[in-house]
């Protein structure tokens, strides 16, 4: 087979598509205002305002409203995507575009960088304002170390949720499954259970996103625990159990603890929504060093590079 034909065949393999879309997503400047996921987020916000009345509705009604809202949004997003893939003459190209949409993380990374720079300049109010664009928790009274924990948490969890999970979903079930995972994680962050308003309304997207993230979070936690054990010593799990947190064994906690141990940065800690505090274990040293955020950014870049190299290796095998 001639080289041009080989290249055309090569770019149709999932590993090659993952490689190309990862590279494109990292260099493509795509304003969040014009990104399709922003439309999904806006529609979710408007739908929630119409159907959720936490002060009037019983918990069962709020739960049912959350189920119906989740089903409506998933149907509106996934059915057109599935139909277009089914009738398209170029399903690989369309699937690659859906993967690119699902992998969109550039605004998140840019915000985390800006938070680190603001803290290095001792601009705590600026850092809190930027952090408000990452999540909806109460950030007005966060100390510098609280800002560091929140920003680093967001960056590390986002890599698993929006890169590793999306790639695994694409390789397992194609572009529609990858898009479904991204929409579920978006809804779970839009309606966090820690916020009293969404304690019942957000149950279904939270449970579904936890299920969708189980495999990638387990894989990431296992790898970072092994790496941390090799670098920092074999007493890692005993230290994790000593955190006195009943959910220490959850993959998300293991991932954050392993990253905190490996990188030597503060992670975790309680979160507060609408003056209600939710207890979470603190991991890592209690030192307010803005460079901790940069360490988290570099770690996710290294993880990106490993994913790219793995995709490149699988793509190269297709030529043999």
Instruction: List pLDDT tens digits, range 238-291.
Output: 555 555 455 555 788 888 888 988 888 888 888 888 777 877 778 878 777 888
Residue 234: predicted pLDDT:
66
pLDDT of residue 244: 43
DSSP string, 161-213: IIIIHHHHHHHHH-HHHHHHHHHHHHHHHHS-TTSGGGTTTTHHHHHHHHHHH
| Whether 260 contacts 142, CB under 8 Å | no
Give the whole-angstrom CA distance, residue 238 versus residue 26.
38
Asked whether 290 and 119 are in contact (CB, 8 A), the reply is yes
- pLDDT recorded at residue 143: 86
Quick one: which of 277, 272, 290 has its CA closest to 139? 272
Does residue 279 come out as left (phi exceeding 0), alpha (psi in the -120 to 50 range) or beta? beta
What's the gap between Cα 205 and its chain centre? 14
Domains of the chain, by residue range, sit at: 3-317
pTM of the predicted structure, to 2 decimals: 0.90
CA 231 and chain centroid, separation: 26
Q: Tokens in use for 261?
A: 């141990």
Distance of CA 87 to the CA centre of its chain: 31
**What is the predicted pLDDT for the residue at 15?**
82
| Three-state DSSP state, 59 | helix
Q: How many CA atoms are closer than 13 Å to the CA of 34, on its beta-carbon side? A: 3
Token code pair at residue 300 = 């996710």
Token pair of 189 as six digits: 């962050």
Angstrom distance (rounded) from CA 188 to CA 153: 16
Displacement of CA 164 from its chain's centroid (Å) = 9
Taking 50 as the pLDDT cut, the residues of the chain under it are 1-3, 7, 244
pLDDT at 235 (0 to 100): 62
Residue 139, number of CB atoms within 10 A of its CB: 19
Closest by alpha carbon to 315, among 54, 34, 12?
12
């Amino acid at each position: 087979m001639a080289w041009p034909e080989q290249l055309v065949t090569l770019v149709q393999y999932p590993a090659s598509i993952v490689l190309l879309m990862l590279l494109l997503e990292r260099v493509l400047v795509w304003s969040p205002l014009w990104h399709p996921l922003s439309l999904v987020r806006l529609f979710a916000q408007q739908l929630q305002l119409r159907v959720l009345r936490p002060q009037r509705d019983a918990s069962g009604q709020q739960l049912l409203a959350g189920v119906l809202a989740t089903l409506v949004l998933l149907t509106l997003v996934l059915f057109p995507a599935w139909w277009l893939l089914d009738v398209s003459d170029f399903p690989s190209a369309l699937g690659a575009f859906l993967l690119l949409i699902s992998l969109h993380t550039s605004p998140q990374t840019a915000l985390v960088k800006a938070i680190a720079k603001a803290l290095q300049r001792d601009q705590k109010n600026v850092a809190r304002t930027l952090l408000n664009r990452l999540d909806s928790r109460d950030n007005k009274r966060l100390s510098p170390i609280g800002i560091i924990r929140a920003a680093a948490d967001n960056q590390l969890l986002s890599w698993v949720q929006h890169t590793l999970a999306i790639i695994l979903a694409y390789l397992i079930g194609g572009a529609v499954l990858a898009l479904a995972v991204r929409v579920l994680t978006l809804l779970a962050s839009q309606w966090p259970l820690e916020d009293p308003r969404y304690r019942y309304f957000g149950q279904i997207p939270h449970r579904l996103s936890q299920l969708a993230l189980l495999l990638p979070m387990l894989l990431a936690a296992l790898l970072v625990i092994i790496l941390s054990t090799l670098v920092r010593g074999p007493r890692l799990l005993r230290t994790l159990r000593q955190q006195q947190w009943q959910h220490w064994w959850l993959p998300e906690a293991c991932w954050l603890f392993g990253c905190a141990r490996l990188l030597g940065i503060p992670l975790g800690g309680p979160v507060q929504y609408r003056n209600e505090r939710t207890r979470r274990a603190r991991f890592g040293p209690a030192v307010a060093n803005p460079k901790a955020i940069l360490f988290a950014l570099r770690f996710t870049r290294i993880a990106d590079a490993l994913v790219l190299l793995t995709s490149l290796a699988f793509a190269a095998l297709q030529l043999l």
